[in-house]
Amino acid sequence: MPQVDTPYLAGLDLRDRRVVVVGGGTVAQRRLPTLLDVGALVELVSPEATPAVEGMAQAGELRWHQRRYADGDLADAWYVLALTDDVEVNAAIVAEATRRRIFCVRADDGTAGTASTPASAEWHGLRIAVASGQIARRPPSDGGHDPLRAASVRDGVLTWLRSGAGERLLDQPGSRSRSRTTVPGVALVGGGPGDPELITVRGRRLLGQADVVVADRLGPRSLLDELGPDVEIIDATKLPRGRFMAQEAINACLVENARAGKFVVRLKGGDPYVFGRGSEEVEACVAAGVPVTVVPGLSSAIAVPALAGIPLTHRGVAHEAVVVSGHLAPGHPESMVDWTALARLSGTIVILMGVQNLGDIAAVLSEHGRAADTPVAVIQDGSMPAEKVTVGTLETIAEVAAQADVRPPAIIVIGGVVGQLTPHLP
């Protein structure tokens, strides 16, 4: 029988049990949150700690013995982590733990401890763990104790699961966790500015559980292709001065499908509550007695300028950022934007849905005090492969944007921060 050096994976219930962590550096900073999340009674032994670890102690999340390790510190512990950068101290910790029959992780030499921390993650209530190790008769090239390799495999599995494949796996006949058995109701999911990788983890998970998806053109459209063939997709697109699905019809669609026993995801661009009319959809669901939840998303007002290299605030340039809707021109009787007051601000103005009224907006801001040479950027199709950034000033931007054939959807950024524009990161 071959000698094995592969760890036996087991789940530890550490809730309300004493766990001793020796060392307060960056390794501890990474390991402590998980221990705290599972309810362990953590005691830290270390003369120093990173600011984040010190903050955990100050918040009462753990007990900090601000000194060096001493023999006897592990008494009555259920689990021990030796995380110092001193080889001799770590060896002494393992020795004491072994005498006391306490499993001990040694961070600087995984093979010298009596336990190891696998690369792990959580998905749908399941804990996925990948541990490295090897059978002694196999050559070292097989991988051996390689935590980076284990983490890479863990990340690959998670990527596959979150891509939609995992949701389809849950839907297989015989699965006791079929996603289609989710409680009927509605989830308003903010999909971010458009890039499918910018949706939140929770948003993507709920999308994979949907029976019905009500989507528009501003959300991460490519994710729809990952849905199963049994998922009904309803187009709720609203085109500027063109075809649209009335908001009342969208509200009714959400309610009717939920009442029919389906789990409905309303996939929206950006964040549901930032010019997304999400509150109206929530009100409709609440009035109808339909369970509803909101999953925030990255607002294009913040994310798109950032992706284009424009910070909304910058030390010495802008200490304020205001987000407004430009779908109604200045002076329109239904407009609720005080353009005169905005013109007096020195910070950043971010305008959504303002392409059609760009000339009027620039003119009124200049008329009421904003300098004509104030930098302006218009970012079309932000976060998407066709993204286009057009730069000018309040005086020139309308003409420059027209020459560049700028079209919605686009984000307008006005202020000195546009001068901080940096090249796209690779």
Domain positions in the chain are: 4-117, 120-181, 187-298, 302-420
pLDDT band at 125 (very low <50, low <70, confident <90, very high): low
Per the annotation, the verdict on 216 as an active-site residue is yes
Name the active-site residue from 86, 146, 171, 238.
238
Query: pLDDT by residue (tens digit) across 251-272?
Result: 999 999 999 999 999 999 999 9
Global pTM value: 0.73
Residue 7: the pLDDT is 73
- Give yes or no for a contact between 266 and 210, defined as CB atoms under 8 angstroms apart: no
Give the confidence band of 244 by pLDDT, cuts at 50, 70, 90. low
Region 187-298: CATH code: 3.40.1010.10
Active-site residue, from 216, 271, 360, 381: 216
What is the third-level CATH fold of 4-117? Rossmann fold (3.40.50)
Amino acid 10: pLDDT:
84
**Superfamily of 302-420 according to CATH:** Tetrapyrrole methylase, C-terminal domain (3.30.950.10)
Q: Is the pLDDT of residue 55 over 70?
A: yes
Instruction: Specify the range with the lowest mean pLDDT, choosing from 72-86, 114-128, 257-271.
Output: 114-128
- Report the pLDDT averaged over residues 129-142: 54
The predicted pLDDT at position 164 comes to 60
Please indicate whether residue 332 or residue 130 has the higher confidence score (pLDDT).
Answer: 332
Of the listed ranges 136-140, 288-292, 315-319, 412-416, the one predicted with least confidence = 136-140
pLDDT tens digits along 299-339: 999 999 999 999 999 999 999 999 999 999 999 999 999 99
User: For residue 179, what pLDDT is reported?
Assistant: 45
**Is residue 238 annotated as a catalytic residue, yes or no?**
yes
The pLDDT assigned to 99 comes to 97
pLDDT band of 384, cuts 50, 70, 90 = confident
Q: What residues does 321 pair with on adjacent strands?
A: 348
Tens of pLDDT along 171-195? 554 443 444 446 899 999 999 998 9
The residue length of the chain stands at: 426
pLDDT: is 132 or 70 the higher one? Answer: 70
Q: Which residue has the higher pLDDT, 226 or 347?
A: 347
C-alpha to C-alpha distance for 306 and 292, rounded to whole angstroms: 31
